[in-house]
């Protein structure tokens, strides 16, 4: 592979951190440096000679700095193909100096959007010259090295020090690929900002931060998480988080965030196998575990309050993969840490995206996130008997769980404790029978319990089966053409039923 030497460089960056080392090495190698504005001043303060781009083009920076490098003498020097006779004749004719290295650090558009609301200031942080320099240099990677973000300075320094300013086509092409990654991500961020108001139907996402996983859903599948889990929690202990762990973590966090009082959630394969709300955490843990101690083995535990020593001692008796809470007492952490592979996470931010998307067929399926969480105010009683205060509390509790369960889903609950779920079945009746059988298996008395359904009952058979099992109150969306059949059966048998008008399918 042919090696090409860097003889000239154009540098235009927003943040200057780390640039001093690069500039000093370039100077030591005899590289001619062109620069603009604040970057030029920074280089001159280092005592290193540089030429202003304005002196090269004979045009000053104009329009409040909006136009500095957009000139044929700059872009001609970047885009000129050194092996193309016509290009080089024009370079000579118009006295265009070839530029072999371009270093750019773009205006911090996303950072500006996060920190301020002033649209005019945000618009001024849309980089024009910098992004154009990146694209031009990347296009001509045959001859030009493009450094498109300051995180690449260490790699550039290695190239300059070890190879004395020479680079091969493989190295330049790699930098070009990274440059287009930077430019495409930058443009995506700008589009998403504008589209908050415009509502253009188009799918654009760009996430550079990635978290390599041991494997995907199964060991023969590769897996990567694109995102920054460190924004959400601190990992205090344990092995690396897996693909399936992340799925369970999201399920657990989504569910726990619907609860305000002290609650424990146990998740297995994205579904709750234990949920309980109590006045104190040890009681909540014991009640959650009692829901299904078999499935809890190897699951993940999520709470919305700090883990104390007493609760940690109880939890430690169970083998589990992950625990997530807002905090841990010092003694609790000491207890939980003695299993070396146990993953201990301390939650930092309560963040959920505005929408969900998933790959499907030859495209992407997009939807708004299900943010509906019904309260007693959303209940529309439809039967002769109305639910009592304790039943209402249980109905709200059960409906939160069914919202986060795989369809078809039925949840049975009593005294703010999950008795059992029937999940992922192809018929609602099957889900109900599964829940009843499971509740009985673990010794729950369903007399006086409540039932939540993620969707309407197409026939009255489900409410009849629930009644015979001891269910006294039901919450469901309603909406079936045969709703009246279910209403009539409940009224005739003393069951209270409420409609919410909101379905919670989850697939």
Q: What are phi and psi of 105, to 5 degrees?
A: -130, 115
Instruction: Give bridge partners of residue 32 from the DSSP assignment.
Output: 8
Query: CB count, 10 Å around CB of 348?
Result: 12
Residue 108: alpha-carbon gap to chain centroid: 21
Catalytic residue (choose from 269, 331, 339, 433)? 269
Report residue 436 as tokens.
Answer: 């009843």
Q: Which of 134, 158, 136 is nearest to 148 (CA)?
A: 134
C-alpha neighbours within 13 Å on the C-beta side of residue 36: 28
Whole-number Å distance between alpha carbons of 101 and 11: 8
Is 269 among the residues known to form the active site?
A: yes
Q: Which of 138, 160, 4 is nearest to 82 (CA)?
A: 4
Report residue 300 as tokens.
Answer: 């993940």
Three-state DSSP class for residue 310: helix
Catalytic residue (choose from 16, 24, 71, 139)? 139
Q: Measure the CA angle with vertex 118, ends 113 and 120; round to 5°.
A: 100
Q: Where are the beta strands (DSSP E) in 340-379?
A: 343-347, 355-360, 363-368
Strands 450-453 and 233-237: unpaired
Residue 22 is inside which H or E element, if any? helix 19-28
Query: CB count, 10 Å around CB of 398?
Result: 29
Is 507 among the residues known to form the active site?
A: no
Check: CB of residue 287 under 8 Å from CB of residue 278.
Answer: yes
Residue 392 is inside which H or E element, if any? helix 389-403
Active-site residue list? 139, 269
């Amino acid at each position: 592979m042919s090696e090409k030497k860097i003889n000239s460089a154009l540098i235009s960056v927003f943040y200057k951190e780390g640039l001093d080392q690069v500039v000093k090495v370039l100077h030591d190698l005899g590289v001619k440096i062109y620069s603009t504005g604040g970057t030029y001043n920074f280089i001159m303060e280092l005592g290193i000679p540089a030429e202003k781009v304005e002196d090269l083009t004979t045009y000053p920076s104009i329009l409040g700095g909006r136009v500095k490098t957009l000139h044929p003498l700059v872009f001609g020097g970047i885009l000129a193909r050194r092996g193309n006779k016509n290009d080089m004749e024009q370079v000579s004719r118009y006295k265009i100096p070839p530029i072999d290295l371009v270093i750019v650090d773009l205006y911090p558009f996303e950072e500006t959007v996060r920190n301020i609301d002033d649209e005019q200031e945000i618009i001024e942080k849309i980089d024009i010259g910098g992004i154009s320099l990146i694209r031009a240099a990347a296009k001509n990677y045959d001859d030009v090295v493009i450094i498109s973000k300051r995180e690449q300075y260490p790699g550039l320094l290695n190239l300059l020090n070890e190879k004395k300013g020479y680079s091969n086509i493989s190295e330049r092409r790699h930098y070009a690929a990274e440059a287009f990654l930077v430019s495409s991500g930058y443009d995506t961020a700008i589009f998403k900002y504008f589209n908050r108001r415009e509502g253009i139907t188009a799918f654009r996402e760009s996430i550079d931060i990635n978290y390599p996983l041991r494997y995907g859903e199964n060991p023969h599948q590769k897996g990567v998480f694109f995102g920054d889990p460190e924004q959400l929690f601190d990992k205090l202990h344990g092995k690396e988080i897996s693909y399936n762990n992340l799925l369970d973590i999201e399920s657990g966090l989504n569910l726990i965030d619907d609860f305000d009082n002290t609650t424990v959630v146990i998740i297995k394969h994205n579904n709750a196998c234990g949920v309980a709300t109590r006045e104190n955490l040890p009681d909540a843990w014991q009640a959650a575990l009692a829901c299904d101690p078999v499935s809890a083995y190897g699951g993940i535990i999520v709470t919305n309050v700090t883990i104390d020593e007493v609760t940690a001692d109880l939890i430690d008796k169970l083998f589990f993969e992950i625990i997530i809470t807002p905090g841990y007492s010092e003694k609790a952490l000491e207890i939980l840490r003695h299993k070396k592979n146990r993953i201990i996470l301390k939650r930092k931010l309560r963040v959920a995206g505005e929408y969900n998307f998933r790959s499907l067929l030859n495209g992407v399926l997009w939807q708004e996130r299900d943010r509906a969480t019904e309260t007693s105010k959303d209940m529309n009683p439809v039967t002769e008997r109305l639910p009592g205060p304790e039943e209402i509390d249980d109905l709200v509790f059960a409906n939160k769980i069914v919202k986060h369960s795989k369809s078809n889903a039925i949840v049975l609950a009593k005294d703010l404790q999950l008795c059992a779920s029937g999940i992922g079945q192809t018929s609602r009746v099957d889900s109900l029978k599964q829940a009843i059988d499971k509740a009985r298996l673990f010794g729950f008395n369903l007399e006086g319990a409540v039932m939540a359904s993620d969707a309407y009952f197409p026939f009255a058979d489900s409410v009849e089966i629930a009644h015979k099992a001891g269910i006294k109150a039901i919450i469901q969306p309603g909406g079936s053409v045969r709703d009246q059949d279910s209403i009539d059966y409940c009224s005739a048998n003393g069951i209270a039923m409420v409609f919410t008008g909101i379905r919670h399918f989850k697939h």
